[in-house]
Amino acid sequence: MPEFQRPRGTRDFGPEEMAKRRFVESNMRETASTFGFGEVMTPTFESTDLFIARSGEDIVNEMYAFEDKGGRNIALRPELTASVMRFYVNEMQSLPKPVKVFYFGNMFRYERPQAGRYREFFQFGAELIGAPSIEADAEVIALAMQSIKSLGMDDAVVRIGHLSILQSLFEDIGVPENQQVACRRLIDKQDYDGLKNLLAEISIDNSETLIQIIKIKGGKDAIAQAQELTSAGEDGFTYLADLLNRLEAYGFSNCTVDFGVARGLDYYTGMVFEIDAPSLGAEKQICGGGAYKLADLFGGQEVNSTGYAFGFDRIMLALENSGVEVPSQKLDAYILPIGDSARTAATEILMKLRNAGISSDMDLMGRNMSKAMKYANNIGSQKVIIIGQKELDEKSVTVRDMESGEQELVPISKILDYNFK
């Protein structure tokens, strides 16, 4: 029994998993770069107040919040939008607009660990700050869709809503302003009974149209379907139709609307969207985002922003579930010097290969031939290079293909001509 365990709800990642995670991270970074977004990084902890300003006092109960030795209240970040907007307000407000940034980072939440929910988890997100809303919304949704398309995930579904539609529907049936966020949260959780009960409590009984509309999902026809049910929310419907057209020009012609997308947080202002990976089953959401205003809350000038965050751990799971091949790392060559006299020549060949970008390793354990072959097989090395006295005499090495079992004598001077990849 080991003496120390990792903290509850956290993970250790071994080499195979890390190679896959880094591949996906790089791929997403590359996509964001081709879209002209630049990466930013902020500290792992911030003033607790920053997160309270964004999410309300309750967030403290879900964070790793503590007092540092100087008596300051700090918290491990539970999300990154607040940090990025703090950075924007402090240092990027005077840059020419739009400011287009992305981030990849770890986040923390203090809650009961459960399947697929970790106390330390990872998100890949983007924020577009300071552009007119429809152009920004289209560009940001296109980036999100391109990010998963580039990873080979073909079955993802984006569902787009608009809070002005919900607001109009609320106003239409007389939901008072101070109850609208509570209603949005229930809609966000698809808790329709809860919504009916809440509305009944405040004596609103004509909620059928609202309930019907928030259940509508689909393409452009879904917009027409909703418009037939209500005369409210016209601006929002028109906006979404325009947005779908723009996304078509981006090459994403199968985006859908979903009038029940409500997002739980107060600061979302207009378009809101979510992306699902059907292969994940019930917990299928991999991305959430929308248009928001936060800069003024953090002491800056009010500015239009649109952003999203991908749950990185969910993406990894979705790729696995849908059978998308993510390359893991394999050793190209394992070098076995037979006897001490071969070690210097072996080291030189080793470095020749490594300098050419061929991942290679040398026996450090003094293994004999049969044990070395077993080991090379075990670590998945593609080739084994054997250097004994016979090979040294002929200024050559024996290269064994571990899959076919074929062996070949290759002159040391021509080792880089051999196809190791």
Q: Between 258 and 313, whose beta carbon lies closer to its own copies?
A: 313
Region from 99-107, 222-230, 273-281, 310-318 binding its own copies, contact rule CB under 8 A: 99-107
Q: Between 176 and 251, whose beta carbon lies closer to its own copies?
A: 251
Q: Between 110 and 418, whose beta carbon lies closer to its own copies?
A: 110
Under rule CB under 8 A, residue 86 binds its own copies? yes
The whole-angstrom separation of Cα 400 and Cα 198 is 72
Interface pattern 113-142 for its own copies (x via CB under 8 A) = -------x-------x--xx--xx--x--x
Site for its own copies in 19-48 (CB under 8 A): 19, 21-22, 26, 29-30, 33-36, 38-47
Region from 182-190, 204-212, 292-300, 397-405 binding its own copies, contact rule CB under 8 A: 292-300
The helix-helix angle for 15-34 and 133-150 (nearest 10°) equals 140
Q: Between 200 and 249, whose beta carbon lies closer to its own copies?
A: 249
In sign, the C-alpha dihedral spanning 297, 91, 81, 66 is negative
The whole-angstrom separation of Cα 13 and Cα 151 is 21
Q: Which residues touch 374 (CB under 8 Å, ≥6 apart)? A: none
Q: Between 311 and 337, whose beta carbon lies closer to its own copies?
A: 337
Minimum distance from residue 215 beta carbon to its own copies (Å): 32
Minimum distance from residue 297 beta carbon to its own copies (Å): 8
- Phi, psi angle pair for 320, to nearest 5°: -65, -50
Q: Are 250 and 216 in contact (CB under 8 A)?
A: no
Closest CA to 204 of 167, 228, 171, 178: 171
Site for its own copies in 350-369 (CB under 8 A): 350-351, 353-354, 357-362, 364-366
- Phi, psi angle pair for 231, to nearest 5°: -100, 0
Q: Are 161 and 260 in contact (CB under 8 A)?
A: yes
Report residue 265 as tokens: 């947080």
Site for its own copies in 377-396 (CB under 8 A): 378-379
The whole-angstrom separation of Cα 373 and Cα 123 is 41
- Find the binder of its own copies among 167, 209, 343, 412 (CB under 8 A): 343
- Find the binder of its own copies among 347, 368, 389, 407 (CB under 8 A): 347
The whole-angstrom separation of Cα 329 and Cα 348 is 23
Q: Fill in the DSSP letter of residue 114.
A: B
Say whether 96 sits in a helix, a strand or coil. coil
Q: CA dist 353 to 333, 412, 415, 416, Å?
A: 9, 11, 8, 7
Q: Which residues pair with 386 in a beta bridge?
A: 336, 398
Q: Between 282 and 364, whose beta carbon lies closer to its own copies?
A: 364
Under rule CB under 8 A, residue 56 binds its own copies? no
Q: Between 21 and 293, whose beta carbon lies closer to its own copies?
A: 21
Residues contacting its own copies: total by CB under 8 A? 101
Q: Between 131 and 257, whose beta carbon lies closer to its own copies?
A: 131
Minimum distance from residue 91 beta carbon to its own copies (Å): 7
Q: Between 226 and 319, whose beta carbon lies closer to its own copies?
A: 319
Site for its own copies in 139-158 (CB under 8 A): 139, 142, 146
CB atoms within 10 A of CB 315: 27
Q: Fill in the DSSP letter of residue 117.
A: B
Q: Are 136 and 125 in contact (CB under 8 A)?
A: no
- Find the binder of its own copies among 57, 58, 71, 96 (CB under 8 A): 96
CB atoms within 10 A of CB 79: 20
Site for its own copies in 218-247 (CB under 8 A): 246
Region from 95-103, 191-199, 232-240, 309-317 binding its own copies, contact rule CB under 8 A: 95-103
Q: Are 157 and 278 in contact (CB under 8 A)?
A: yes
Minimum distance from residue 249 beta carbon to its own copies (Å): 4
Under rule CB under 8 A, residue 281 binds its own copies? no
Region from 81-89, 173-181, 182-190, 217-225 binding its own copies, contact rule CB under 8 A: 81-89
Q: Are 270 and 290 in contact (CB under 8 A)?
A: yes
Site for its own copies in 311-340 (CB under 8 A): 329, 331, 334
